[in-house]
Amino acid sequence: MEPLRLVELIAAALIVGVGIALYRRKPVEGNDGGYGSQGAVLLFVLAAIIGIHALGGLDYHPTDAERDYIKAHAG
């Protein structure tokens, strides 16, 4: 694994940890008494996207047809 990808994966894990801490935080007095936070959910989504990117899920992989087209039209 490339060093920058490893840093991304560690960052995603840290963001998940912060999201869990934020989600599990006790409610303030006068609140409805429930757990949860929109901020925590946004952190979970962000961590998921960063984690997927770190694992290579968003890398571009041209199809055979695209490779052939590029070879045929390369100067």
Separation of alpha carbons 5 and 34, rounded Å: 37
Q: What is the mean pLDDT of residues 11-30?
A: 87
Identify which of 37, 61, 60, 46 has the alpha carbon closest to the alpha carbon of residue 13: 46
Among the residues of the chain, which ranges form H helices?
3-24, 38-54, 64-73
pLDDT at 18 over 70: yes
The pTM score is: 0.76
Span 31-50, pLDDT tens digits = 665 666 899 999 999 999 99
Residue 7 main-chain phi, psi, to 5 deg: -60, -40
